[in-house]
Amino acid sequence: MKYLKNVVTLDLDEEKCTGCGICAEVCPHQVFKIINKKAAIQDRDSCMECGACAINCPFSAISVAAGAGCAQAIIKGKLGKGEICC
């Protein structure tokens, strides 16, 4: 199942990447692939912006605006209430 196209905020700085492979290991949707000792984004639209790759990259090569893709939390947030997801 795929979600909307071309919306996610995932970004990879190849300069900083050492190809350690942690990002590919932790991603639940196989967004990364290690090609020639560098991480590459191979399936951007499958990213759910969980943030696992970014927090686990030891070289801060990944940035993503992480958060729960949850309508309830966003609506409650707009109404000024705390989020209630999960």
Partner 1 sequence: MGSWKVRWGINRMEYKVAPGLYGIGEPGEDSPVLVTANYKMTFDRLRKELSGVNAWVLVINTRGINVWCSAGKGTFNATEIARVIAMTNLSWVVSHRTLVLPQLSAVGVAAHRLLKISGFRVIYGPVRACDLPKFLGAGMKASPQMRRVNFGFADRLVLIPIELVRVIKIVIAAYLVIFILNLLKIWSVSYLATLPYLGAVVAGCVLTPALLPWIPGRSFAWKGWLLGLLWSTAVILYSFPAVPSGWTKALVYLLILPALSSYLAVNFTGSSTFTSLSGVKRELKVALPAAIISAGLGVVLLFLNQFVL
Footprint of partner 1 (CB under 8 A): 1-5, 7-9, 22, 25-30, 46-52, 55-56, 58, 65-75, 85-86
* CA count, 13 A, side-chain hemisphere, 27: 26
In angstroms, rounded to a whole number, what is the distance separating the alpha carbons of residues 86 and 70? 9
Print the binding letters for residues 57-76 with ligand SF4: x by CB under 6 A, - otherwise.
x-x-xx-x------------
Which residue from 40, 45, 48, 63 is in contact with ligand SF4, where contact means CB under 6 A? 48
SS3 44: helix
The answer to whether 3 contacts ligand SF4 (rule: CB under 6 A) is no
Residue 80 is given by DSSP the state T
